[in-house]
Amino acid sequence: DGTHNVLAIPEPAHRLDKGTSGLLLVAKTRPALSNLSAQFRNRTIEKTYTAICYNVPAIIPNDPTNGNDDWHDDWQCIDKPLDGKSAITFWRVLEEFEHKVSKLSLLELKPKTGRYRQLRRHMAKTKLCPLVGDTVFAKGIENKDGGGGGVPMAKKLGLFLCSSAVRFDHPYHKGSEHEIGDGVAAQLPTEIGHQITCLSEGGTVVMNVRIEVPRKFAALLE
């Protein structure tokens, strides 16, 4: 009987920064929580965030903040310590656009470390492109008088940062009746606009989960 391993209340295996929306991995059993927590500690879980920032982040050749990792050709790397600890963020621009008086960029961000407010601080301090709705790092733009060139109603709309995708090893499905065949991908049914894909790799089922971003993103993009 494995019911003693079931958590009375499901527990999150990580956290999202205040104001961030989107995916959060939650465990229903103690072994699953331990497994997911270990994956986060070992940095084997890949998280992707979608964000909108002010301005267009500059791509500067040979910029030391870009690091030396050629993880993907179309991704840039910020390798800038925070609070005396290593902090690495991959980023890329998906779209550049204008909203009223603001020049904005739609981004994807992949943190390789998990420092306090890492994505917000890297974009605001290193790239000088604070995220829309950031009450700490964009307050000079989003002032109360509306004269700073910020997005109108940004404070009311909240932070434009969404945990939109995550890739991780399923803590349980490593064979038996859940085996889908090595190298075979399976699409699972989800809510409209969301996507979950399983891929068996060497006996481990890798989960790829992606959701749509909140509707407020579309409101700025229109």
Name the nearest CA neighbour of 160 among 113, 96, 220, 94. 220
d(CA 141, CA 133): 10
Distances (CA, A) of 17 to 115, 204, 211: 10, 30, 18
Residue with the larger pLDDT of the pair 22 and 203: 22
* pLDDT digit string, tens, across residues 113-168: 999 999 999 999 999 999 999 999 998 887 655 556 688 788 889 999 999 999 99
Q: Give the pLDDT mean for 211-218.
A: 94
State percent of the chain over pLDDT 90.
Answer: 61
Choose the catalytic residue: 17, 69, 73, 182.
17
Question: What is 118-133 written as a DSSP string?
Answer: HHHHIIIIISS-PBTT
* pLDDT digit string, tens, across residues 29-53: 999 999 999 999 999 999 999 999 9
Out of 67-71, 134-138, 160-164, 213-217, least confident range? 67-71
Whether residue 174 has pLDDT greater than 90: no
Confidence of residue 67 (pLDDT cuts 50, 70, 90): low
Farthest CA pair distance, the chain: 64
Clarify whether 17 is annotated catalytic: yes
pLDDT value at residue 25: 96
Whether residue 210 contacts residue 108, with contact meaning beta carbons closer than 8 Å, is answered with no
**What rounded mean pLDDT belongs to the chain?**
84
Whether residue 75 contacts residue 91, with contact meaning beta carbons closer than 8 Å, is answered with yes
Whether residue 192 has pLDDT greater than 90: no
d(CA 39, CA 173): 15
Q: Give the pLDDT mean for 173-185.
A: 46
Give this prediction's pTM.
0.86
Q: Give the pLDDT mean for 168-195.
A: 59
